[in-house]
């Protein structure tokens, strides 16, 4: 595949997806309580484990899911479908996923859940800069390759663009697997509230972010801010190349003024 990085080490794709995205973002309960469609942005379709875990978790929930998956290619999904013996979670959806890749959209019912699934192929930062027709998200599965392998997906500018896509009147929470200080700083500078996420796979801690403080159970606090100030790798990425640097003074001042830290 295009980026040489191991997918879902440790637990395997399904269990990791359930822990990191479905349970952490409370997908079935939030989808059930939503009177209209519940929208998930799946940033990094990969082999579809994250979306299929969410769909399966909602089988017994009367809800309408609208999923928009983004990826540069469908190479990982095609690879998975050629290896169903190793990725059996795909077997049940073999025909449906083939149609999704051919037509770019899919509608079906899974138990009590009605599902609409759209596929957007292209460079995600470029897609955000172009004309958009996707509904505003209630949840974001942020699962690109890591900052070292795919730095363009982890820049301060990318997260700022993503935050601007959120609705002012709609709760939205994002989960992602890194716990790195530079990623958390980038999310905070974009406007998100940010907290410590649940363990998943070999990750003892992940990251959760949201546009509402109430959606974060374990917010980063002043102690974290001071550790970030002393870190040698905290300044967020500003371009599509990876580097490590301590916080600049202007960045620290912006962080300190964030409502997460300035208002208890």
pLDDT per residue as tens digits for the range 221-242? 999 999 999 999 999 999 889 9
Which residue is associated with the tokens 């500018």?
157
Range of the domain at 244: 13-262
pTM: 0.94
With a cut of 80, say whether residue 255 has pLDDT above it.
Answer: yes
The answer to the question of residue 8 being in a domain is: no
Joined tokens for residue 238: 């500003």
The answer to the question of residue 241 being in a domain is: yes
User: What does the alpha-carbon distance between residue 153 and residue 146 come to, in Å, rounded to a whole number?
Assistant: 8
Q: Which tens digit of pLDDT belongs to each residue from 107-144? A: 999 999 999 999 999 999 999 999 888 999 999 999 99
Q: What are the backbone angles phi and psi of residue 171, rounded to the nearest 5°?
A: -65, 140
The answer to the question of residue 5 being in a domain is: no
CATH classification of the domain holding 47: 3.40.50.150
The answer to the question of residue 69 being in a domain is: yes
Spatial neighbors of 237 by CB under 8 A, at least 6 apart, are 147, 151, 154, 155, 156, 182, 186, 243
With a cut of 90, say whether residue 5 has pLDDT above it.
Answer: no
Beta-carbon count within 10 A of 3 CB:
13
Q: Which tens digit of pLDDT belongs to each residue from 188-217? A: 999 999 999 998 877 889 999 999 999 999
The answer to the question of residue 17 being in a domain is: yes
User: What does the alpha-carbon distance between residue 194 and residue 196 come to, in Å, rounded to a whole number?
Assistant: 7
Which residue is associated with the tokens 């580097």?
243
The answer to the question of residue 158 being in a domain is: yes
Q: Which tens digit of pLDDT belongs to each residue from 39-94? A: 999 999 999 999 999 999 999 999 999 999 999 999 999 999 999 999 999 999 99
Count of the separate structural domains present in the chain: 1
The answer to the question of residue 66 being in a domain is: yes
The answer to the question of residue 7 being in a domain is: no
Q: Decide: 193 and 212 in contact? Cβ < 8 Å.
A: yes
């Amino acid at each position: 595949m295009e980026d040489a990085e191991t997918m879902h080490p440790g637990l395997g794709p399904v269990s990791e997806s359930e822990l990191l995205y479905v349970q952490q973002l409370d997908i079935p309960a939030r989808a059930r309580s939503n009177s209209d469609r519940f929208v998930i942005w799946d940033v990094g379709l990969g082999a579809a484990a994250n979306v299929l875990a969410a769909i399966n978790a909602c089988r017994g929930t009367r809800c309408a899911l609208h999923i928009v998956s983004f990826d540069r290619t469908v190479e990982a999904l095609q690879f998975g479908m050629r290896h169903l013996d190793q990725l059996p979670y795909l077997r049940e959806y073999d025909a449906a996923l083939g149609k999704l890749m051919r037509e770019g959209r899919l509608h079906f019912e899974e138990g009590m859940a009605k599902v609409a699934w759209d596929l957007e192929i292209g460079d995600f930062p470029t897609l955000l800069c172009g004309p958009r027709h996707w509904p505003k998200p209630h949840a974001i599965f942020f699962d690109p390759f890591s900052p070292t392998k795919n730095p363009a997906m982890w820049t301060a500018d990318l997260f700022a663009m993503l935050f601007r896509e959120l609705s002012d009147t709609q709760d939205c929470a994002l989960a992602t697997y890194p716990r790195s200080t530079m990623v958390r700083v980038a999310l905070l500078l974009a406007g998100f509230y940010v907290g410590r996420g649940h363990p998943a796979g070999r990750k003892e801690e992940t990251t959760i972010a949201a546009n509402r403080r109430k959606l974060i159970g374990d917010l980063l606090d002043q102690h974290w801010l001071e550790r970030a100030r002393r870190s040698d790798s905290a300044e967020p990425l500003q371009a599509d190349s990876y580097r490590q640097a301590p916080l600049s003074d202007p960045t620290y001042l912006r962080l300190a003024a964030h409502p997460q830290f300035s208002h208890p």
